[in-house]
Structure 1
């Protein structure tokens, strides 16, 4: 089973691309969805985050907006948050892999927003980066409720630059040219990953990769 890391900066269309992979038959593990579950009432992250960041829990669940205010733009606080959440998220992957293997999946997709930032590329066989022109990215993100230029800049400051992600990827999917174009690229990626000749040469991304456009 080939493990693919899917990543991309905010507003690049990663979630839409992940859905395309799922439609094409590749099971997708959504790390952000797992975080939502961990933050929900009864979630495993609620108690430790309540202790580490007093005031972020409301009605038994972590309020992401309140938590964001305590960590955005504060590297040390962000590291403390990641030290709590990342191990919990990692623990949920075992069930996903077991289910995918039972279903006979040959390729699985790990949708991880901060793949490179957390060193996750070392634990996958190939990396797909979702990208789009910077002006389209900003337009998409600023159209979201409660998003501001300042907030967007703070988010981008803690994410690896898109140009660096592209350089380190095995594949780059450009979502700036419409859904049909992106879907065609997804199919091309899956076809290549199912090509024994390519798989034989596949190596883990360690500071560089083979970007395909």
Structure 2
């Protein structure tokens, strides 16, 4: 039986880097955002139902995130209908991953783990964290959003302090070496617990 480890953290906290560290240590990683990208891509399972519900959301045979954003801005009720299409497909993608994964520890990289209640389906949750000034600098250095957009995203996410409080494990991503050492210690603890069970 595999151990289900939830991985979450606010924007710019180093979640992608930590997911890679976990994969490097032999964990199988399922990424919720990547699953949505697969579903929205040409030939993806979300394309036909989205086209039926929101014809304007389709561009070049794929679901356009930008067009979806515009649809949601124009009609706040659209989000619930979009979620009703996408969430079951994401759930199936996750179930397929669980069925096929051979690793002892399965990592579920879900940005809104606590916000969606996904933590209830995990054996433990790991939260990545970094000082607020580091978080802000990382996000703004990407050059993909303004400070106002960053603040808007942050406002929708469970505060970092609350996430750390609710987590079973916390990885501080201040330096790559420190993050790696913490990941290795956490996995050693989980694997010891599995061996002792």
Specify the alignment match of 2:50 in structure 1.
Answer: 49
1:187-208: per-residue Cα shift (whole Å, max 9, x none)?
A: 01101111238976xxxxxxxx
Aligned to 1:207: none
- Residues 19 and 60 of structure 1: is their aligned pair in 2 closer, same or farther, counting only changes over 3 Å? same
Q: Is the 8 A contact 1:192 1:198 kept in 2?
A: no
3-state secondary structure, aligned to 2:56: coil
1:51, distance to aligned residue in structure 2 (A): 4.1
| Structure 1: stretches of 5+ with no match in the other structure | 201-213
Matching of residues 95-174 of structure 1 within 5 Å: 95-100=96-101, 103=102, 105-174=103-172
- What CA distance in whole angstroms lies between the structure 2 residues aligned with 1:183 and 1:62? 36
Q: Is the 8 A contact 1:50 1:56 kept in 2?
A: yes
Q: Distance in 2 between matches of 1:23 and 1:179?
A: 13
Give the distance between the partners of 2:66 and 2:81, measured in 1 at CA: 17
TM-score, normalized by length of structure 2? 0.89
> Equivalent residues in 2 for 1:17-56 (5 A)?
17-56=18-57
Question: When you count helix as a share of all residues, which structure comes out higher?
Answer: 2
In the alignment, structure 2 segments of 5+ residues that lack a partner are none
Tell me how many residue pairs correspond in the alignment. Answer: 196
Residues 116 and 199 (structure 1), Cα distance of their counterparts in 2 relative to 1, 3 Å cut: farther
When normalised by structure 1's length, the TM-score is: 0.83
Q: What secondary structure does 1:55 align onto?
A: helix
1:190 aligns with 2:187: yes
Judged with a 3 Å threshold, the aligned counterparts in structure 2 of structure 1 residues 197 and 35 are, in CA distance, closer, same or farther, namely: closer
CA shift in 2, pair 1:138/1:51, >3 Å: farther
Provide the residue aligned with 2:176 in structure 1: 179
Equivalent position SS for 1:118? coil
Whole-angstrom CA distance in 1 between matches of 2:88 and 2:117: 13
